[in-house]
Amino acid sequence: MILKGVGIGRGVAVGPVLRMAEPLPEPKDEPRDASITAEAENERVTAALNAVNADLNKRAEEAANGDDGQKQAAEILQAVAMFAADPSLAANIKAKVDAGATGERAVLDGFGQVEDMFRAIGGYQGERAADLHDVGQRVIANLMGLPAPGVPESDEPFVLVAKDLSPADTTALDLKKTLAIVTSEGGPTSHTAILCRARGIVAVVSAAEAIDLKDGEQVIVNAAKGEVVTEPTAEQVEEAHEAKAKADKAKELRGQPGQLADGTRIPLLANVGKPSDAKVAHEYGAEGVGLFRTEFLFIGNEQPPSVEEQTKAYAELLSQFPGKKVVIRLLDAGADKPLPFLTPEDEPNPALGLRGLRTLAQHKEVLEGQLKALADADAQTDADLWVMAPMVADEWEAEYFTKLGKSFGLKFVGSMAEVPSIAVMADKVAQVTDFVSIGTNDLTQYTLAADRTLGSVSNYQTAWHPAVLRVIKMICDAGREHGMPVGVCGEAAADPDLAVVLAGLGVNSLSMTPVALDDVRAELASHTMEEARELAAKALDGDFYKPPFWTED
């Protein structure tokens, strides 16, 4: 059986399950024994709060002397420790004790009220509710004279399975024994996820069905696929061991530039969705940014952000890449990314409707506002800024956008290749635009006429299809002839084997989700350009393409 969740990183691990200890029994909602005074009970609670605060601070100090990941955990632990020393929370608990509650129940309810408040706020704050709950549980355990809930002891390496982990649990983990972590709750921004990323722990979070895993059960945790395989076959286990060995080796090349075995450079860049993603891009050794999707500034708003707001966000990203290439894409509103104030509601076929540059051309104020903000941000920073438009159909649109961008003072202005028509006209396009970046997600959707959002046609969503590769080749050939750089920034670039084929077709740079960089870098390094070209020739012939099952006999 395969349990689905959200993978953190690309690691793979195999091992037996060890479940986190069961939670503490819930303190009864009954009045305190009349013989125990409020004063005595309050003293007990204060002592427990102090003990937990001291214990968490001690762990924070220990973590501060550890590796980088533990240092990050130290800051989180210090912040969490403060919950146990919060005067208003303590006053609320005291009021409950004064009204007759037991210390245990008063702590549960006092912390619970703040947890509910955090959850109601949602987002990052919402995920802190779990941290708060953990502190409350530690205080209750102290009052009950029970050990604090936490990571179980084991002599053998294990895959830790929990609802979610508290920061204290994560720092206490013995990394030599912890093969992987699986949680049934907690999203990609939970502390478990943040700390697993920081400490390089293989993890799959938010796998709801993991709640049913049993102690000792053998599982494969595949973070790259975001899945947990239960009762794996011997073959699956062997494959997982191989994938693990490969992933470990790939990590060793981190920090080196992307290149083929013969030294041909293929810069490896990161796809990012907001300025703060730059940190992860750096962490995985990205040489710059190959696609910054600017939609995050617009989605969820009722009107476009001001030029000043945009300038601030673009400058925030650019300032993190001095001297490095950063490709920023203009807003791609429409189809799978509709915006209420720009996208018509009545399109019967949105993928073939107003989107990308077509939308921007109808809303000049948005288009020009973005270009102005980009030029202003460029003037304030030292990155090598490249700007491109989504969904450019032909040389007229390419020329229109390139000229317009330059009139704002932008130096390098290009076009995304997502519609096959731009490839058919590539020889013309290459003469009027500074660069082309191929968006294989949309290029595949439009080449094969298969909606990328529809599960029923998802087997067409592969850039391994020789028709897609031939379309890409047309763009690469034109780029080579006219000295125009061609990059790929769609998901295809993140497939290590396909990355080699793309290099063989003549793609000059590849941009992908940062976690994919290690594997792509390692695969490129193991092939010469000659080999890459041979593989590309085979791929163009369809040798590596698996047609849908119903075309087989």
* Catalytic machinery residues: 191, 489
Pick the closer one to Mg ion by CB: 267 or 490.
Answer: 490
Smallest distance, Å, CB 168 to ligand PEP?
39
Smallest distance, Å, CB 370 to ligand PEP?
15
> In whole angstroms, what is the distance from residue 45 CA to residue 52 CA?
11
Strand order in the sheet with 218-222: 2-4, 227-230, 218-222, 12-19, 158-162, 178-183, 203-205, 6-8
Token pair, residue 285, equals 């050794």
Rg (CA), the chain: 27
Smallest distance, Å, CB 433 to ligand PEP?
17
Pick the closer one to ligand PEP by CB: 166 or 440.
Answer: 440
Pick the binder of Mg ion from 267, 288, 439, 487 (CB under 5 A).
Answer: 439
Task: Tell me how far the alpha carbon of residue 265 is from its chain's centroid.
Answer: 26
Smallest distance, Å, CB 309 to Mg ion?
24
Q: Which CA distances in Å does 343 have to 226, 257, 302, 447?
A: 33, 40, 12, 23
Per-residue interface string for the shown chain with Mg ion, residues 382-421, x marking contact by CB under 5 A? ------------------------------------x---
Specify the DSSP element, H or E, that contains 446.
helix 440-447
By CB under 5 A, the count of residues binding Mg ion is 3
Pick the closer one to ligand PEP by CB: 336 or 477.
Answer: 336
Pick the closer one to Mg ion by CB: 5 or 390.
Answer: 390
Q: Mapped to the 3 state alphabet, what secondary structure does 359-418 carry?
A: HHHHCHHHHHHHHHHHHHHHHHCCCEEEEEECCCCCHHHHHHHHHHHHHCCCCEEEEEEC
Pick the binder of Mg ion from 104, 394, 395, 442 (CB under 5 A).
Answer: 442
Phi-psi region of 407 (alpha: psi -120 to 50; beta: other; left: phi over 0): alpha
Specify the DSSP element, H or E, that contains 170.
helix 167-172
Applying CB under 6 A, which residues contact ligand PEP?
A: 291, 293, 332, 418, 439-442, 489-490
Smallest distance, Å, CB 289 to ligand PEP?
13
Instruction: Give the one entry of ligand PEP, Mg ion, none that residue 164 binds, where binding means its C-beta sits below a cut-off of 5 to 8 angstroms depending on kind.
Output: none
Instruction: Give the one entry of Mg ion, ligand PEP, none that residue 293 binds, where binding means its C-beta sits below a cut-off of 5 to 8 angstroms depending on kind.
Output: ligand PEP
> In whole angstroms, what is the distance from residue 395 CA to residue 422 CA?
7
> In whole angstroms, what is the distance from residue 183 CA to residue 211 CA?
8
Pick the closer one to Mg ion by CB: 9 or 334.
Answer: 334
Instruction: Give the one entry of Mg ion, ligand PEP, none that residue 440 binds, where binding means its C-beta sits below a cut-off of 5 to 8 angstroms depending on kind.
Output: ligand PEP
Contact 538, 544 (CB under 8 A): yes
Smallest distance, Å, CB 498 to ligand PEP?
13
Using the contact rule CB under 5 A, the part of the chain among 117-125, 192-200, 441-449, 529-537 near Mg ion is 441-449
Pick the closer one to ligand PEP by CB: 97 or 367.
Answer: 367
Instruction: Give the one entry of ligand PEP, Mg ion, none that residue 489 binds, where binding means its C-beta sits below a cut-off of 5 to 8 angstroms depending on kind.
Output: ligand PEP
Amino acid at 1: M
Instruction: Give the one entry of Mg ion, ligand PEP, none that residue 451 binds, where binding means its C-beta sits below a cut-off of 5 to 8 angstroms depending on kind.
Output: none
Pick the closer one to Mg ion by CB: 100 or 353.
Answer: 353
Biggest CA-to-CA distance, the chain: 92
Smallest distance, Å, CB 311 to ligand PEP?
22
| Sign of the alpha-carbon dihedral angle for 493, 497, 500, 501 | negative
Contact 461, 510 (CB under 8 A): no
Instruction: Give the one entry of Mg ion, ligand PEP, none that residue 230 binds, where binding means its C-beta sits below a cut-off of 5 to 8 angstroms depending on kind.
Output: none
Amino acid at 151: V
Instruction: Give the one entry of ligand PEP, Mg ion, none that residue 183 binds, where binding means its C-beta sits below a cut-off of 5 to 8 angstroms depending on kind.
Output: none
Binding site for Mg ion (CB under 5 A): 418, 439, 442
